[in-house]
Structure formats: structure tokens, C-alpha cells
Amino acid sequence: MDTVKQLEARRNRILEEMRSIRSMRRGTINEQYFKTRLKGRKGMVHQGPYYILSRREEERTVSRRLRSAAELQQAQKDVAEYKRFLGLCQEFEQLTARLGALERGGQGLEQEKKRFRSSSSKTER
């Protein structure tokens, strides 16, 4: 069982980790290929991969082509940092809930009330 001091120390470390993130982007990186017909050749040829950074904004998907290897590498780092940020947010939320439960004297969110079952619901099973 963690103490209040331990939980607060971990929360502060999480905030420092969040503060250390210098660049992040929401989205995913996808490979895109095109089928084209080249002059003088029969049949279709695949061209690519082209890398696309995509994300949802409201009702639409917004995509941007990553034109160079440096852009692709930076986008991969930024997307990974965003995922790390989300994980830190989730951990911070969980620690805060546990901290609140500890400060209230152990009446945690984890303890769920047992519900009263009527006799009719017992016979239906």
C-alpha cells in the first residue's frame, strides 16, 4: 500500500516528465501506395511508400504527406511522445483517485457496494 507521500512524489515525477516533452503530435503514420501505368510498360505499377500523418479533427480526417526521411523521423518521435503523454495522463488520474481515497480514510472507489437482489431476480437465474 502506497503512502500519501509516495503518491504525491510519483505525481510530481509524472508532471516533470510531462513538462520535459518538447514536441508531440496526435495521429498515426500510414504508408500509402499508388497504382500507376508507366509509359512504355504494360500493366499497373505500385509506387510508394509515401508516408502520411493522419488525425481526426471533429468529423473529418486531416492528413499531411511527410516528404522527407527527416520529416518522417520527427513525426514518428512526436507521435510516440503523444502516446507517452496520454499514458502519463492516465497514470496521473489513477494516482489522484488513489490519493483522494487515502485522504478520505480508505473509502475508495475500488470498493463497490453489494446490491440487494430481489427474490424474483434470484429465481430467474
pLDDT digits (tens, 9 = 90+) for 31-59: 999 888 888 778 888 888 999 999 999 99
CA 54 from centroid of its chain's CA atoms: 14
Grid coordinates representing 118?
Answer: 430481489
Give the Cα separation of 86 and 103 in Å (integer): 26
- Residue 117's pLDDT is 63
- Output the CA angle 55-85-9, nearest 5 degrees: 165
Residue 9 dihedral angles phi and psi, to the nearest 5°: -65, -45
Residue 89 dihedral angles phi and psi, to the nearest 5°: -60, -45
Q: Which of 88-92, 97-101, 118-122 has the highest mean pLDDT?
A: 88-92
Mean pLDDT, rounded, of the chain: 87
Q: Please report, for the chain, the start and end positions of each structural domain, with discontinuous segments joined by +.
A: 4-105
Average pLDDT over residues 19-37: 94
**Residue 22: pLDDT band by 50, 70, 90 thresholds?**
very high
Which pLDDT tens digit goes with each residue over 53-89? 999 999 999 999 999 999 999 999 999 999 999 999 9
